[in-house]
Amino acid sequence: MAPPDSPKPPSASDRSACGLPSAAVIDLSRRRVQRPDAEWRSLLTPEQYRVTRHQGTEPPFQNEHWDRHADGVYFSVCSETPLFDSRDKFDSGTGWPSFTRPIEPAFVEESVDESHGMRRVEVHCAVDGAHLGHVFDDGPNPTGLRYCINSAALRFVPRAQYEGWLASSRSP
């Protein structure tokens, strides 16, 4: 039997909702990806840049992920940050990808948005500051929330590829 002060091997309970070890989530959520404006412009498409760096909104029903039904995980286009799981995606009828929750709460931050003559709650990536969309309290169970997200802010990763990314992220 190991002495009481020995470190315990990681268990499933030491993993976050996104599958990463809890320590990796803490590290990733504290990391900040910051780039000069010219670099963002060179890395992103004009639409991605407009949406993520200048709080833009893309047209409904005319974006890449609103009707995607594949199994996988949606990452920020501005960093290697997993944001939403397809298992939490639902058809809100709005024309934008909608989710009931972020894959890991530490990766998504909220702020009050009073633009366009209304009060909304903006969501953005905690790691890279990308504007993602807004969250509303008219979603389905289990959360009652609707994260209404711009496709231009997301990069879809199929489940098998995500599992590979997780495995490499768990390695020392």
Name the catalytic one among 18, 78, 125, 148: 148
148 is catalytic: yes
Residue pair 15/110 in contact (Cβ under 8 Å)? The answer is no
Give me the active site residues, please.
Answer: 148
